[in-house]
Structure 1
């Protein structure tokens, strides 16, 4: 067996497509490794899977194919550029053999993106889970893979109202057997992944593997997992600038953040049910960094003409010495998928590294990749990077059987 499988939930979406194009382009030497944390010191000292060894597949509720998705991105967003896409199109043509229909159970507005009936139509929850598990088994067998890592990059789903009822493995598995139709798709994908021995990363604000039953499952099966909600733009800046204000003892009175974005994610976030989780993950991180902040608000609006680009405008009102009122404003503009895709590939490589060393449970050294890192209270970006670097220092000189890391 050889190679690492990457199974995307949302395989024909912008982030997954950009990640696949980017991985193949890096492997072919067609682009640089800019944006990949694992391609700079100190992470280059770790024994990580090569980009060329990654094989791709996934679930999606939309029809189409990955090559068409990549061409549309190149045409509408100029990312990737046509030359880069041309260099990897032949590599992408076989991916759709391993893209299977997915579930959109309790995904709110995201369900409207489906081109046909999602898996839950006409099936019990238990049957849906078995379908998802069988797809993972088939992918691993057909591609003769050492390991498969599952990454959720689907559109945001509504917040799970009462996750505590799935607080144990027994409770969760009982709910699946009892056809609990309130279980969200992100939990079903995570359960299928962990049950099939696959490390899991949740790059969305959905609950994913954060429920207690899945954390217990990951521990018992000896599997690493981490989430939630990839930190790529405005929130990245907040976790860098917020500690600056705190360290200088400057009192932040108000922090207003206004985000506009196009693509299907922006469309889904027009629905207040789906927007809630994203607003929380973007806003709450400031509360721990600046506990005395008086006003902290985030807005998100869909601007269709932006396509895959997003813009954030932030206004920070703060006080300094002699109670002097001052302001800082900044504008962040970026390609949503080009910011997210390299982080997704980093997570695949680092979770593979952890799994190869039998490191189970939550992976706190990956907190810097997420807005709301599960099990981690520290949001200061520099301190999160310190934890990652400490992890590298512990592992860089050790053989897999010698490395140990605290589990969840």
Structure 2
């Protein structure tokens, strides 16, 4: 099964490392470390091979995918030079399939990445039609069996009144009226769901989370999932939070300070864009603990770090007889190297769900996201169980 992968933000760090990794695996110069779909029980599913993924995408930047990958190789060794050399021609071919995207309502920080974007003087309806045409042209030219759309673009500011789009009728009326509050991520999602393409939102942006788009996904029987890939500090919270809850140790405060240096860090310097990220990173802890606690998250841009990010967490908790204690830990990782294998996992799992006719929210993928749609439980082990149960039910030969 040949699967087309259309990435929004195709020339960004996460997308470039995802595509570099996929082609390196296909050429036998990299392994599948970090990919959940390469490990049992998920590996037992009849998933499309990584070799069979064909890439294209939208972006507003002119920097080539190969150049982004070179930056990853040159700063911190996220991509080994030999690995990059083995797939350079592949990346150049993919770059020819990248179309100009829209930065509509993505915030000044994102809009500033390019002086030329679709949508500044074009109606919302026309933007949607252009996106649909790009999807269709790619699928036709590459002869793919199905197309999966992945949002890996920089974080948008949150929509001020998401409840205004709770029904498909309301969303479509907003499109017709050229609603200025509709952001790019929702338009990309709408275009995908209209034409039956699975949609994955790896960002904190709106994407397919609006009620009207969820209704469309159900009506058209299209799988979709999001939001915000869970790769670092929040992954740790979802694993450690249940430990405190299970041992009845009361968390008095949990402070998290994050620094990162890539383009995502630059975009998150803007308070409007940062608001969505802070919300997705900080909201799960109270749900896990079962009570409200002081839970602060800070994100700062540190240019010298490049693709690397560091999170320092300070947990102040209370034990027996009111004894106050603390735990501190530091998480340091390469942002794109943590995210890229998950992008490939999600593409493979979304393609399988589409092949099986599983429309609507893919709740079994909750473990991949900070703010998983359709799932209220944030304990990491329980989210893994959703995925493992799905895999055991649908494994080949089961």
TM-score (norm 2): 0.98
Cα deviation, residue 397, structure 1: 4.1
Aligned to 2:271: 272
User: How far apart, CA to CA, are the structure 2 residues paired with 1:236 and 1:14?
Assistant: 20
Look up the match of 2:44: 45
1:322 paired to 2:321: yes
Contact 1:251 1:293 in 2 (8 A): no
Instruction: Name whichever of 104-113 and 224-233 sits farther off.
Output: 104-113
- Conserved 8 A contact 1:251-1:292: no
Q: Distance in 2 between matches of 1:109 and 1:49?
A: 38
**Local SS of the residue matching 2:353:** helix
State whether structure 2 residue 194 is matched by structure 1 residue 173: no
The CA deviation at 1:73 is 1.6
**In 1, are the aligned partners of 2:286 and 2:293 still within 8 Å (CA)?**
no
Give distance in 1, aligned partners of 2:293 and 2:168.
Answer: 40
Shift of 1:165: 1.3
Task: Determine if contact 1:110/1:157 at 8 Å carries over to the other structure.
Answer: no
Q: Which residue pairs with 2:137 in the alignment?
A: 138
TM-score by length of 1: 0.96
Q: Which moved more, 1:295-304 or 1:84-93?
A: 84-93
Matched, 1:210 2:224: no
Alignment coverage as a number of residue pairs: 398
> Aligned runs of 1:242-391 on 2, under 5 Å?
242-391=241-390
Q: Is the 8 A contact 1:61 1:113 kept in 2?
A: no
Aligned to 2:199: 200
In 1: Cα distance, 2:11 partner to 2:396 partner: 38
The alpha carbon displacement at 1:89 in A equals: 1.0
Provide the rounded CA distance (Å) in 2 between the counterparts of 1:27 and 1:340.
Answer: 19
- Distance of 2:166 and 2:289 partners within structure 1: 31
The gaps in structure 1 that reach 5 residues or longer are 400-408
Residue 406 of structure 1: aligned partner: none
Q: Deviations over 1:290-318 (max 9, x none)?
A: 13343111011000100110000000011
Task: Compute the displacement of 1:114 (Å).
Answer: 3.2
Q: Is there any run of 5+ residues in structure 2 with no aligned partner, and where?
A: none
Q: How many angstroms apart in 1 are the aligned matches of 2:118 and 2:173?
A: 20
Q: Cα offset for 1:122?
A: 2.0
CA gap 1:398/1:196 in 2 versus in 1, 3 angstroms = farther
Q: What does residue 121 of structure 2 align with?
A: 122
The Cα shift of 1:112 comes to 3.4
Task: Provide the rounded CA distance (Å) in 2 between the counterparts of 1:77 and 1:285.
Answer: 31
Moved over 6 A (4+): none
C-alpha separation in 2, matches of 1:52 and 1:111: 32
